[in-house]
Amino acid sequence: MVNEVAPDSILEIGCGEGYVLAALVDAGIPATLTGIDLSQTAVAHARTRLGDRAEVRTQDARALAEVSSTYDVVMMLEVLEHLDRPEEMLAVLSSLADRAVVLSVPREPWFRGANLLRLKNVRDFGNDPEHVNHWTKQGFRAFLAEHLDVREVVSPFPWTLVLATPRG
């Protein structure tokens, strides 16, 4: 999905321990890679994992957007389901992305069902207690279409992965 855009720069918001950035490096994506996360512990792990292959720092995406930084591709994977007001983050993503936004969320009800099968979060019917938003594939597409131009939607089980472009 990222290869389709042929980016020179990629920002991953909520990069955690750097697994996705490391996968981009391993896939030979020839872009400048930047990751930000609110967790200092996660950023420390990402720095250890990535070394000098990516710039990783503790930062809030909203603060980054205020200084008018832009990237060809902005990714936010497995984060929107945790946010109380995810629509506000879409505006931030749009302001940071020059060409494309890549987003993913757990696909419901399959994600919760898979958790139940693994006997995870059984008391919450498979729902992760940190997830405050739940989308079906169609529901997530519709939510994003209010804010972004949706280009592609794929469903690697049990997630929904979207390539979109900012408007304007």
User: Is residue 85 predicted with pLDDT exceeding 90?
Assistant: yes
Summarize the confidence of residues 104-124 as an average pLDDT: 78
Q: Which of 162, 27, 6, 14 is nearest to 72 (CA)?
A: 6
Name the phi and psi angles at 131, rounded to 5: -85, 120
User: In the 8-state DSSP scheme, what is residue 29?
Assistant: -
| pTM of the predicted model as reported, rounded to 2 decimal places | 0.90
Separation between Cα atoms, residue 10 and residue 69, nearest integer Å: 12
Do the Cβ atoms of 161 and 144 come closer than 8 Å? no
Domains of the chain by start residue, with CATH: 3-165 (3.40.50.150)
Per-residue pLDDT, averaged over 64-90, amounts to 91
pLDDT exceeds cutoff 80 at 113 = no
